[in-house]
Structure formats: C-alpha cells, structure tokens
Amino acid sequence: MISAEQCIRCKGRFFCGMRTCPILEKFEMQKSVVANIVGDSFTGSSPPGLFVGWHGYPKVSIGPLSPTEVCDSLLLDMPERWFGLPPEQIISFRQRLVRGSKSIDATAAAKPSYELAEMQELVMSIAPTAIEVKLKGKPSPRLSFHESIAPIGPSAPLASMSLQENPSVPRKIDSAVSDTDLKANDALLRLYDAGFPVSTLHKLLSAGTLGVGKNRRLVPTRWSITAVDSNISEALVEEKVKQFPQISEVQLFHSNYLDNDFWVLLVPSAWAFEQLECWLPGASWALNATQAHLVHDHEFYGGRTTYASNVEGAYYSARLAVAEFLAKEKRQAAAIVFREIGEGYQIPLGVWQIRENVRNALGKQPLRFGSLALALEFLRKKLRVPMERYKKESTLIDALLHQKRITDFF
C-alpha cells in the first residue's frame, strides 16, 4: 500500500522530472474533506461502502466508507460506472469517503455484534444509506493506492457506527444472506445470475454475510475482489463456455483507457486463457525502470490449480470479462489478453479497470483473421513491445501455433 504522506513515487525528490507532484496535489485537496468534520463525528450517506484490511489477518480492520454529508453518493463506490472517467475524477470520488476502522476477529461474522450486524446490513443495500459515524479523533488526510483496490481516503479509528435509516435491501440479497445453509460460492453465483454487479458481491463477501452460518468470516476487501472474479469466471467456464461450440475464426478486440492498452485475441480452440502484462518504463510499478517488465499466467482446458501469482488479481478480473462474453455469445475459444501499461498510468487505481477495459473491448466489433499467424502479424505493428518477446514468454501462443490440442494439457 502506498500513501501520499510518503509521496507515492520519490519522497519529494521528483525523479519523474515534474515540477509538482499531481498525487500530492490530490493529497492537499483531501484536507478540505477532513476540515468538514466538526468534532469527531459526522452523518453521511454511505454509497454503501465498507473496507476490510488484510494486515494481521485473522485480526482485521473493518469500517464503513462514507462522505461527511448526506448526498447521492452511489457513484463514489461503484466502479462499474467509472469507465471513461479521468483518473483525477475517480480519485476525487475516493477522497470524499472517510474510513472509520476498528480491529475485530474475522470469525466474528458468524455471530456478529449489533454494530457489525449493522455494517453487514449496510452493504446489503443497493442505495446510499445515511449513517452516523463517531471517530476517535480527527481523520488523518491520507490517500492510499494499491493495484488491487480502489484508492482509500482519509481514515481514523472508529468509535461507533449506527444506521440512521433503513437500508434498501433487495429481496434476493436478503434471501441469500438469510440462508445460513447456502454455501458462499453458491450464493455469489445466484446473485450474479440475478444481475447484481460484482462490486456488490465483493462487499457482501467481504462483510461476512454469505455462506454456511457457523463458517462465515470477514474477508479482506483485496481478497474478496479476487475471490468473486475467480469463482464466477470459473463457474461460467465450467458450466457454460466448455459446453458451447468453438468460434469459427480468429477475432481481435481492443480497448485503451488510463494508458492501459488491451488487445484481446480469441482463437478457435478448446477453452484456454492467458494474460500477458507488460509494464513499460514510467508506469506505476516500473517508474524508474529502463526496460519493459513482462509477466504472464495461463491455464489450459483443465484450469488452474494454483494462484496466478505473476499477474495476480488482474488475471481473474480479465478472465471474468472474457468468460462473460463467451457465455453470452454461446461460444468457446482460447483467449490471450495482451495488456501494455504506459507511463500515463502512474497511480494504480484497482483491478476494476482491467475488468471494465476488457469488457469494453469485447463490447466492440472485432477484427477478423483467417489465422492466428495473421492476427499476430497485425498485432506486431500495434504493440509497443516486440512480438518476439511476447512469443518467448507466452505458453499459449506456442501451443496454438504448433497446433497442439489444448485438451492435451489436463
């Protein structure tokens, strides 16, 4: 986790050559949010939002996210609606949300206290809900960034939180939460099929509202995002995509947002998936690098048995978007996602943008090719890193070019 208090990039030395730091400018803006709090308490409309930290697990820090005023705050914590917005606007959303936090054992979700039960009820809502927040002191103006989660704003230890109105809880969410015999993954799939956005599912899982009653646990926000993306995409692939006929031609899709350039290549084949990520010099995790840093993870028809530790959560976010598309089209394919991250992406904003970038790409009309070789030759002219390097790193390109059967790799 990177905080603006330490200067995200260079501790004030400005290796980037800028005369002022845009991150620190956001940090200064944040002080006005803290100034709006009179005393140690406020009433605001939570989007709804909740953050669960991962440091020290199974002891976790948990607390609501809320602006310091009663307002229409839904957009502040709904990444499905952020695609296309400039990063400054997204950061401004997040810096308005004050986080109160207190330490609690993750197992408390099985028998929640009254206050924890109210936090759980809060995230069951699909509309902003007024809450009263009492803090143990003034929040520190702090802006934190991580590749997996959306930016986190001002925070302070939480004294108490209470609902000021009844949350707007849909019947299907209430039913899933009330069913203490329903496994968490089955509940997630049921709610996903009912049309609830994955950001809502992340919060429900994180707050420990789903699963067999005695086994319910608070799940750190970072972990819950990956768990939802992973479990839903796996179910879509196993239960739907693998049952459909293969696509008939090579298709190539494109999206560029936040200087993240995505090319999604679908090849007639049994299901397989690979993500190749290239961080170009100057990007958020390669700020002082002199050459591009390339990582990848993949799976063949039999799926993965280990965590995608190179690409991490971004792998599962992209896989979900691809699985959604193939399930909708009722087709099967091998998919290769090329992601090039440029120097314009110096502030990590979360894996939501990977999911939404790939969704955006697959929502467009594709370029069509008669062979994989032709598609790769076209890509050679579009990618900033030489295709030879991608071919050297990729497992799936080699298998497809040499016509190995993907189903041989069980």
Lowest mean pLDDT among 11-15, 165-169, 330-334: 11-15
- Confidence at residue 141, expressed as pLDDT on a 0 to 100 scale: 75
Dihedral (Cα; 41, 47, 48, 52), 10-degree rounding: -70
pLDDT tens digit sequence for 122-149: 999 999 999 999 999 888 777 888 889 9
For the chain, the structural domain boundaries read 2-163, 171-239, 246-409
Nearest to 347 by CA among 299, 261, 277, 284: 284
Sign of CA dihedral 287, 14, 33, 52: positive
- Confidence at residue 291, expressed as pLDDT on a 0 to 100 scale: 82
- Confidence at residue 145, expressed as pLDDT on a 0 to 100 scale: 86
- Confidence at residue 404, expressed as pLDDT on a 0 to 100 scale: 63
Average pLDDT over residues 159-188: 97
pLDDT tens digit sequence for 214-249: 999 999 999 999 999 999 999 999 999 999 999 999
3-state SS assignment for residue 111: coil
Residue 113 has pLDDT above 90, yes or no: yes
- Confidence at residue 35, expressed as pLDDT on a 0 to 100 scale: 65
Nearby residues of 111 by Cβ (< 8 Å), 6 or more positions away: none
Chain mean pLDDT for the chain:
90
Nearby residues of 279 by Cβ (< 8 Å), 6 or more positions away: 285, 286, 289, 292, 293, 294, 341
Rounded CA-CA distance 352/25 in Å is 24
Residue 410 has pLDDT above 80, yes or no: no
Our CA angle for 59, 226, 305, nearest 5°, is 105
Alpha-helical regions (H) of 330-386:
352-362, 372-380
pLDDT tens digit sequence for 337-365: 999 999 889 889 999 999 999 999 999 99
HSE of 66 in the Cβ direction (CA atoms, 13 Å)?
Answer: 35
